[in-house]
Amino acid sequence: MDLHIDTTPIPGLLVVRRPVHHDPRGWFTEARQRERMTALGLPDFGPIQHNVSHNAARGSTRGIHGEPWDKFVTVVHGSVFGARVDLRAGESFGATYTIEIDESVAVFVPRGVGNSYRALADETVYSYLVNEHWRPDLVYPALALDDPTAAIDWPIPLAQAEISDKDRRNPQLGEVTPFAPRPALVLGGSGQVGRALLRLLPGAVAPTRGELDLGDPDAVEAYDFSGHDLVINAAAMTAVDAAETPAGSRLARRLNAELPAQLARRAATDRFTLVHYSSDYVFDGQTEQHDEAEAISPLGEYGRTKAAGDLAVGVAPKHYLLRTSWVVGDGGNFVATMARLADGGVSPSVVEDQWGRLSFADEIAAATMHPVQRGAPFGTYNLSQSGEPMTRAEIAREVFALRGRSWEDVRAVTTDEYAAGRDMAPRPRHSTLDLSKLRATGYEPVSRAEALTEYVSRLGARGPSHLDERKELTCACSSPGEPGSSGATSCTRRSRRGPTWR
């Protein structure tokens, strides 16, 4: 039998079928093989404690406990009848799954799912890995073994089983308080992606600056992360040009490099999963498409600080580093600006030699939660909309067409033409991210054409603008549209009757 993993009616509860090698001496199996099992979908859950339960006699039974840790269960000797009941709050509350476990079967039990077993043979040895330390004072949901709703068909009658007095007193399902997972913590909740995440995670905690000043290392060090299994860092300093100034560089280094390093250290000590957002600006843009294995090669100070943050996050035991490009969300951004200019009768000039894909904030939020909830292998993942790369000028023309303007109303200029006479940080020419690794987890981003059409339609009806039709704008993105930024667009207004001004 080849190694494979089966899903069950209880979300997140997985059955691992393992090859067992027999010879005259006995048998051998790989109880847990991290690389191959995570590649097949087993969460990389980071066990920190190994427990062994010896069951002297057939019929020994352990109660249904919804413990606050993930558990990977194996049987070293003998066999058990395993029963799992979902005690987590949600639609699957009360769902039941049973299976017989011997040396060829292992079960991954997510935290909050009630776990129980009955030994089917004398001298059965039951073994399990957990990712939190057991404490005698922990309180968690438990369920009566004879609950009529769960209706577990025990192979040995309860009257003939060895059961502890405590487990005999467990409540019926209707009396159980469902297990409530610890809320996610979203840092940078006021940014474009932060707001999208909070719409997707209504129970998440998003501290304000008054509650947690991310610019203050001491405040971050003193913050209590113990109430969170997942910390999502959507905060960043993203003003690319300002990062080249002394004050801007200090702020960029604090938020883009030092803060991620602090969070990575806390992720190791407090054992939470850390999600952090990277940027296409960590590359020099010479390669037409960037994959996760490409060496970082930033061009400017902003890219250097983001690259430093990437390296720091990479040491966190449980981390997802999500690299984005050309982010568009609520508030000011390149697409919204182009729509406003189109509505106002303006004919802008937009750079034509920067290629990439837009990443809409709602897509980023959804793509963030996919590997987290699926338990995909930790590491770096690129994410953006799908579809062919486009230049900024091509995107602007599509926006104009969606607003009823002619694409010819957008004039294409080179980056060098736009940068002439300006103190402007270098931009990568190619920002297209390879999405193969993200797709391998089962996630397919919405196409850029569909996402752009839907976003522009939400911007509202066209209306008048204070901008005069006789004026032109030269536009280029002044920031990469990072998760923590407004994604502002830098435009120079040029009157046909007067000088250029900014």
> 262 in helix, strand or coil?
helix
Rounded to whole angstroms, the Cα distance separating 382 from 439 reads 10
Quick one: angle between helices 448-457 and 392-402, nearest 10? Answer: 50
Q: Model confidence over 258-275: pLDDT tens digits?
A: 999 999 999 999 889 999
Q: Sheet of 113-119: strands edge to edge?
A: 96-101, 80-86, 113-119, 61-65, 142-143
Q: Model confidence over 167-208: pLDDT tens digits?
A: 999 999 999 999 988 899 999 999 999 999 999 998 899 999
β pairing state of 80-86 and 113-119: antiparallel
Q: Which residues of 161-178 are buried (b: 16+ CB within 10 A; e: fewer)?
A: bebeeebeebeebeebee
Predicted local distance difference test score (pLDDT) of residue 298: 95
Are residues 261 and 150 part of one domain? no
Rounded to whole angstroms, the Cα distance separating 271 from 46 reads 9
pLDDT of 81 strictly over 70: yes
Are residues 223 and 170 part of one domain? no
pLDDT of 483 strictly over 70: no
Four-point Cα dihedral 295, 296, 297, 301, nearest 10? -170
Q: Model confidence over 83-123: pLDDT tens digits?
A: 999 999 989 999 999 999 999 999 999 999 999 999 999 99
Predicted local distance difference test score (pLDDT) of residue 480: 58
Q: Model confidence over 446-472: pLDDT tens digits?
A: 999 999 999 999 987 554 333 333 344
Are residues 72 and 28 part of one domain? yes
Evaluate whether 338 touches 348 at the Cβ level (below 8 Å): yes
Q: Model confidence over 43-72: pLDDT tens digits?
A: 888 899 999 999 999 999 999 999 999 999
Mean pLDDT of 202-220: 94
Are residues 190 and 84 part of one domain? no
Are residues 136 and 43 part of one domain? yes
The answer to the question of residue 166 being in a domain is: yes
- Tell me which of 1 and 392 has the higher pLDDT: 392
Rounded to whole angstroms, the Cα distance separating 476 from 192 reads 19
Are residues 200 and 116 part of one domain? no
Evaluate whether 106 touches 33 at the Cβ level (below 8 Å): no
Evaluate whether 338 touches 395 at the Cβ level (below 8 Å): yes
Predicted local distance difference test score (pLDDT) of residue 419: 82
Predicted local distance difference test score (pLDDT) of residue 460: 76
The domain containing residue 11 runs over which residues? Answer: 4-175
* Burial label, 466 (beta-carbon count in 10 A; 0-12, 13-18, 19+): exposed
pLDDT of 237 strictly over 80: yes
CATH of the domain at 42: 2.60.120.10
pLDDT of 500 strictly over 50: no
pLDDT of 335 strictly over 90: yes
- Tell me which of 211 and 46 has the higher pLDDT: 211
Rounded to whole angstroms, the Cα distance separating 172 from 174 reads 6
Phi/psi-derived region of residue 173, left when phi > 0, alpha when psi is between -120 and 50, beta in every other case: alpha
Residue 284 to residues 83, 129, 242, 289, 328: CA-CA distances in angstroms? 54, 44, 19, 11, 22
Split into its structural domains, the chain has a count of 2
Evaluate whether 352 touches 417 at the Cβ level (below 8 Å): no
Please report which confidence band the pLDDT of residue 495 belongs to, taking 50, 70 and 90 as the band edges.
very low
Mean pLDDT over each residue of the chain, to the nearest integer: 89
Which structure tokens are listed for 208? 């304000």
Choosing from 121, 141, 175, the residue where a domain stops is: 175
Evaluate whether 105 touches 15 at the Cβ level (below 8 Å): yes
- Tell me which of 38 and 402 has the higher pLDDT: 402
Are residues 232 and 136 part of one domain? no
Choosing from 157, 175, 193, the residue where a domain stops is: 175
**Where does 158-243 have alpha helices with state H?**
165-168, 192-200, 217-222
Residue partners of 485: CB distance under 8 A and separation at least 6: 191, 192, 236, 237, 238, 239, 327, 479
The answer to the question of residue 304 being in a domain is: yes
CATH of the domain at 322: 3.40.50.720
pLDDT of 166 strictly over 80: yes
Residue with tokens 């025990």: 154
Predicted local distance difference test score (pLDDT) of residue 494: 37
The answer to the question of residue 180 being in a domain is: no
Are residues 215 and 130 part of one domain? no
- Tell me which of 477 and 146 has the higher pLDDT: 146
From the CA atom positions of the chain, what is the Rg in Å?
Answer: 27
Are residues 293 and 237 part of one domain? yes
The answer to the question of residue 132 being in a domain is: yes
Instruction: Give the residue from 313, 445, 431 showing the smallest Cα distance to 380.
Output: 313
The answer to the question of residue 137 being in a domain is: yes
Residue with tokens 């001496």: 25
> Which positions are catalytic?
302
User: How open is the CA angle 47-30-85, to the nearest 5 degrees?
Assistant: 55
Chain centroid, CA 402 distance in Å? 31
User: How open is the CA angle 122-128-131, to the nearest 5 degrees?
Assistant: 165
Please report which confidence band the pLDDT of residue 488 belongs to, taking 50, 70 and 90 as the band edges.
very low
Instruction: Give the residue from 189, 188, 305, 286 showing the smallest Cα distance to 242.
Output: 305
Rounded to whole angstroms, the Cα distance separating 8 from 331 reads 42
Rounded to whole angstroms, the Cα distance separating 235 from 185 reads 12
